[in-house]
Amino acid sequence: MKLPVHHEGWPFIAIIVLANAILFAAAGEYGILLLPLTLWTIAFFRDPERHPPQGANTILSPADGRLLPVVRAVPPQELGLGTGQKVRLSIFMNIFDVHVNRIPCNGTVERMAYRPGKFINASFDKASEANERMAIRLAMPNGDKRRDLVVVQIAGLIARRIKCDLKEGDTVCRGERFGIIRFGSRLDVYLPEDARVLVRAGQRVKAGETVLADLPV
């Protein structure tokens, strides 16, 4: 059987398993003291399969976690979308959530921009502006009308590493894996103007499966 673990996790798992084995060899039964951390490390990097629901005009959650209050905010300036506010959905991932990120909609990666920053608690609203982040602008297929959707990976208090596998020009499909953040973090989604929000603050969402919003055909 294939162990559903993200490839980014194997070096960390190898280190903690080796350390645990050494502790068992050196200290006998006291090795059990490190066992919870070993099991948590394996669980943190788990990468379960997800099954996106039908509906090309729906926007899926890019992360597992808890939805923070829905607000209107200006997308990251480095993406070149101007100063107009858009509806922002923010998902907070704690250290027990799956941290593999997934594409919320079909489209093309129009622009990407990394910005260094702080590492304050990702559940705070100011984390969207102050923290280290990777911002991604997706152009959604919509005939003659242009729609842009923005996804932002944001580091948190413990998270110190944002991993994004995308590059500008990539064609992406909803539900595909595109990155991971270590350890505990946040994702922001800035919706197109005509999107209709289908979730509420405090709701638990799952990457690649929970529908955040839909769009008129």
- Which positions are annotated as active-site residues? 185
CA atoms of 38 and 34, how far apart (whole Å): 6
Nearest Cα to Cα of residue 185 among 117, 91, 112, 115? 91
Nearest Cα to Cα of residue 213 among 161, 153, 147? 147
Q: DSSP assignment, residue 7?
A: G
Q: Which residue has the tokens 């948190």?
A: 156
Nearest Cα to Cα of residue 62 among 89, 33, 39? 89
CA atoms of 128 and 153, how far apart (whole Å): 9
Chain centroid, CA 191 distance in Å? 16
Determine the angle formed by the axes of helices 10-27 and 35-44, rounding to 10 degrees.
170
Beta bridge partners of 89: 189
Beta bridge partners of 92: 66, 186
